[in-house]
Amino acid sequence: MTEDAQLAAISVENVSKSFRVERRSLPVLDDVTFAVPEHGVSAVLGPNGSGKSTLLRLISGLLEPDSGRITIDDQPVSDADQRVGLVFQEPRLLPWRTALDNVAFPLELAGMGAAERRERARSLLELVGVAAFADARPHQLSGGMRQRVAIARALARDPQILLLDEPFSALDALTRERFNAELLDLWQRTGTTILLVTHSLAEAVFLADEVVVLSKSPGRVVARVPVPLGRPRTQQMLESQAFARTASVLRAHLAGTPAELAAEEARAAPVRDVLETAGAPAFFDPFRGAS
Amino acid sequence: MRFAALLSGVLVAVVLVGGCSSAPTPTPAPTATPLTKLTVGLGYIPSVQFAQFYRAQQQGYYRAAGLDVTFQNEIDPNLITLVGQGAVDVGVADGTSVIPAVGQGVPIKYAATIYAQFPDIVIAAANGPIKTAADLKGRSLGIPGEYGSSWIMLQALLASANLTASDLDIRDYPDFGQAVALQQGQVDSATGFRNNEPLQLAQQGFATTQLTIDQITPLPGPGLIVGTATLASKRDALTAFVTATLRAMDEIAANPQLGLDDTIAQVPDLGSNKDSQLAVLQATIPMWSSPYTQLHGSGAIDQDAWTKSLDFMRGLAGSNIPASLTADQLVTEELLP
Amino acid sequence: MSDNRHAWRSTLLSVGFAALLFVVAWKLIVVIANYPPFILPAPEVVAQRFVSAWADGTIAPHALATIQEIVIGFVVGAGLAVVVGYLLARSALAERLLSPYLVAAQATPILALAPLLVLWLGTGLAPKVVICALIVFFPVAVSTMVGIRSVDRRLLELGRSMRASRWQVFRFLELPAAMPQILGGMRVGATLAVIGAIVGEWAGADKGLGVLINLARGSLFDFPLMYATLLTIALIAIVLYLLVLLAERVLVGSWR
């Protein structure tokens, strides 16, 4: 741990967290320890209920650990730490703003002037490859494009750390593969440290330098598996022996009984974005005819 | 002894049975004509001011004339359209409403004068500075609203002193509290009815000066209105109705107590304060007659006065009374005895 | 773009057709039942009176007075309602304390309150504004409360992750997210405001379309004018409703 801590961008030490549910204490994370080196990419892999999302919220400062400590660059994490950029499972774009204004949103909250923040937002949209859709509204964009905008937004304040919570799980498999590659590309260009939570073995191995495997609830670190693949990662590596071997190591760490695995899948809820739950005019609108 | 008891019992039974068979419920004679139904619209609320109608009903004058009369309470504007439609056969309505109504094509006619004196007046504190219409200049006046017979009366009153409404400070009292406002000193003057507000205020020790338009413009007071179609189809019944009503009116004028008793018999709710009701009736009765009716009989219609009123109302600001309207289109005396 | 214009044209056609049907039915009723003009004037008589009453300035000052009451009353009522609705959404305590009064105020018929308000506030603009504001208040407050409460938690978490202040959360997240519901409540409020203004005038006023109805009916016995006034009132209500719809289209329509 100590040699990690010296180079660590993120350092998680003996972190435990419980939630109070109807007067009972539900432990979610138990004595989790790992570190992510500066400019590294780490993946957190685990079944549902292993506390992965909670872990990300602890690292970003949205939650406080019950015990243990989390530091970024040796500085303890503060409430809603702005050194962290957060990408959620759903894009969570504001439906009433254009893509550009969505990316500019955190800058607007921080008090940046309109022209300046629009310019910065535009360059971020270019970075993620959707500059042409700057004036489109979220409902006009595909799921993949929306997630790109969300990533651009997470990068708006130039964070040291980028936390991604199963960011591509709502996308189809082909798009997902492409996005994995693009994420690495982005990583090369921005130099952020990346911690990604994922369900997908292949994704974890493809992206990360190290995969932290969590057990099911309460989440404990089962293993920290290094990924022996060189950089830059290529599609061919997906077929390599090293890849397969790492994957089976991970699989072994994750293994539960088939019944447990089936129960996991059953519990996985479909991803519904803010956009689908956003309100709509309820009654007949003569401007539109039948609604 | 037992025989006597039995005999007297039989006698009593015979008398009772005999009495029953000659009871007031008439066995319909084969030649009796059915009663003509008449709906009569009185003001918006039952009042001792309609004593003549209640008396004629209670004393059976209508029935004796072959009429089956039912009363309805309606506000003036509604009554005019109902009578025009024929939904109500005869009603008591403001003469000043008849003029614009007929002008706009409502098919009614004024058939008998009930209030020979115009009831709307202006009142002011008796010990105050207002004694004549001219004294109203620059003063405040309370009125329910700038519409209706009181508004027309006010304009006539002011015109007699070469004033208009803009020379006064007019305050609206849509809840009809203008007399109370006068008493409390909120306004210098107020509109009211001859037989109402001055009485009420006097009962509370507040004496009033009353400004009337009797000598100024002979505006027509409330009277009986009939639809022109009803006039044609129920002429005889209506004539009988008017006769019976005028008879009751004359009887009450001679003996007001009769009117009070029949009113309470018809509308028991009004029996809760007999003294004040009697006072109202006694103040109302003088309004039923004027020099004209004394000369020409109760209910007579002064067509000359109507023509003058027509001209006056036509000349008011915002009036929509057509130039071609004449008094004979407004009134008829065919129902009068 | 052509999609919108097509929708526009078909809406205009269907509204026009419905209006035509209404007028034809009206005329048929008048002719068949042989109603005299003082009971139900024919549509062309009312139309003619409508035009002449506007042309000679009979309706205009009254319409202006009523519109003034409606607009001020609506703005005051809806404005207060959004604030109170927000408070109710954010504070369970506030909701528990205030709800009984809100419901009681809503349940008391405006027709009964109106004369009291005129007694207290006179026959000027004030009581009408209060009545309009009262009648608009409840639907807008409730819809605001519901709207704010149903803002997606995930958006609020997003705001937290960006360190948005309370005011920023309200302005940038809660208010826009609740806008569809708030505007829905305002649709209802808009039509109610018109009722409030007329009821307020009937309780005591010297100008306004409610006053004009009474004048036409009870002083002038000008029944075509009465119907023309009713028509004016209906048109004002429709315009107000459409304005809210327009606001909805501008503020919310762009979402989907």
**For chain B, domain boundaries:** 36-117+220-322, 120-211
- Statement to judge: residues C135 and C228 lie in one domain: yes
CATH number of the domain bearing residue C219: 1.10.3720.10
Q: Are A215 and A250 in contact (CB under 8 A)?
A: no
- Statement to judge: residues C9 and C104 lie in one domain: no
Q: CA–CA separation, B136 vs B155, rounded Å?
A: 12
- Statement to judge: residues C131 and C237 lie in one domain: yes
Structure tokens at C70: 């409606």
pLDDT at A5: 40
CB-closest option in B81, B100, B146 to C220:
B100
Count of structural domains, chain C? 2
Q: Are A101 and A37 in contact (CB under 8 A)?
A: no
Residue-range definition of the domain harbouring residue C13: 1-34
Give B310-314's long-range contacts (Cβ < 8 A, gap of 24+).
B310/B99, B312/B156, B312/B217, B312/B219, B313/B96, B313/B99, B313/B100, B313/B152
**Could you tell me which chains touch chain A, where touching means 3 or more CB pairs under 8 A?**
C
Residue labelled with tokens 């997630």: A147
State pTM to two decimals. Answer: 0.78
Q: Are A52 and A165 in contact (CB under 8 A)?
A: yes
Residue A65 located in a structural domain = yes
Tell me which residue of A183, A116, A110, A98 sits closest to C161, measured CA to CA. A110
Give A63-66's long-range contacts (Cβ < 8 A, gap of 24+).
A63/A17, A65/A15, A65/A16, A65/A17, A65/A29, A66/A16, A66/A17, A66/A18
- Statement to judge: residues C23 and C59 lie in one domain: no
Q: Chain A contacts of C244, Cβ < 8 Å?
A: none
Residue type, A33: T
Residue type, C227: Y
Angle subtended at Cα B200 by Cα B198 and Cα B203, rounded to the nearest 5 degrees: 105
Residue A127 located in a structural domain = no
Q: Which of the four pLDDT bands, split at 50, 70 and 90, describes residue C37? A: confident
Q: Are A278 and C255 in contact (CB under 8 A)?
A: yes
- Statement to judge: residues C2 and C117 lie in one domain: no
Q: Chain C contacts of A286, Cβ < 8 Å?
A: 11, 15, 242, 245
Instruction: Evaluate whether the domain defined by B120-211 bears CATH number 3.40.50.300.
Output: no
CA atoms within 13 A on the CB side of A184: 20
Residue type, A203: E
Q: CA–CA separation, A33 vs A28, rounded Å?
A: 14
- Statement to judge: residues C30 and C130 lie in one domain: no
Tens-place pLDDT, residues C126-158: 999 999 999 999 999 999 999 999 999 999 999
Beta-bridge mates of residue B42: B73
Structure tokens at B226: 């009939």
Q: CA–CA separation, C54 vs C232, rounded Å?
A: 10
Residue-range definition of the domain harbouring residue A227: 2-83+161-234
Interface check B221 vs C, CB under 8 A:
no
Interface check C99 vs A, CB under 8 A:
no
Number of other residues whose CB lies within 10 A of the CB of residue A95: 23
Pairing relationship of beta strands A24-37 and A41-45 according to DSSP bridges: unpaired
Q: CA–CA separation, B210 vs B119, rounded Å?
A: 11
What chain A residue is nearest to C9 in terms of C-alpha separation? A287
Q: What residues of chain B, 108 to 167, have a C-beta less than 8 Å from chain C?
A: 145-148, 151
Cβ of B174 and C221 within 8 Å?
A: no
- Statement to judge: residues C28 and C87 lie in one domain: no
Residue B220 burial (C-beta neighbours within 10 Å; 0-12, 13-18, 19+): buried
Mutate to test the interface with B, among C38, C211, C221, C225 (most CBs of B within 10 A): C221
Cβ of B104 and C38 within 8 Å?
A: yes
Tens-place pLDDT, residues B285-313: 999 999 999 999 999 999 999 999 999 99
CA atoms within 13 A on the CB side of C237: 17
- Statement to judge: residues C30 and C70 lie in one domain: no
CATH of domain B36-117+220-322: 3.40.190.10
Stretch among A137-141, C212-216, C252-256 having the lowest mean pLDDT:
C252-256
Structure tokens at B7: 């005999």
Same CATH topology for B36-117+220-322 and B120-211: the answer is: yes
Count of structural domains, chain A? 1
Q: CA–CA separation, B250 vs C77, rounded Å?
A: 59
What chain A residue is nearest to C250 in terms of C-alpha separation? A96
**Could you tell me which chains touch chain C, where touching means 3 or more CB pairs under 8 A?**
A, B
Interface check C115 vs A, CB under 8 A:
no
What ipTM was assigned to the predicted interfaces of this complex? 0.83
Q: Are B76 and B106 in contact (CB under 8 A)?
A: no
CATH number of the domain bearing residue A48: 3.40.50.300
Residue A243 located in a structural domain = no
- Statement to judge: residues C59 and C180 lie in one domain: yes
Over its length of 291 residues, how does chain A's per-residue pLDDT go in tens digits? 444 444 568 999 999 999 988 888 889 999 999 999 999 999 999 888 788 989 999 999 999 999 999 999 888 998 988 999 999 989 999 999 999 999 999 999 999 999 999 999 999 999 999 999 999 999 999 989 999 999 999 999 999 999 999 999 888 888 888 999 999 999 988 889 999 999 888 999 999 999 999 988 888 998 899 999 888 888 888 888 888 888 888 888 887 555 555 565 555 555 566 776 665 554 444 454 443
Q: CA–CA separation, A233 vs A188, rounded Å?
A: 11
Tens-place pLDDT, residues B2-17: 565 566 555 555 555 4
CB-closest option in C11, C158, C187 to A289:
C11
Q: CA–CA separation, C168 vs C174, rounded Å?
A: 9
Mutate to test the interface with B, among C34, C45, C46, C219 (most CBs of B within 10 A): C219
- Statement to judge: residues C18 and C120 lie in one domain: no
| φ, ψ of residue B324 in degrees (nearest 5) | -85, -5
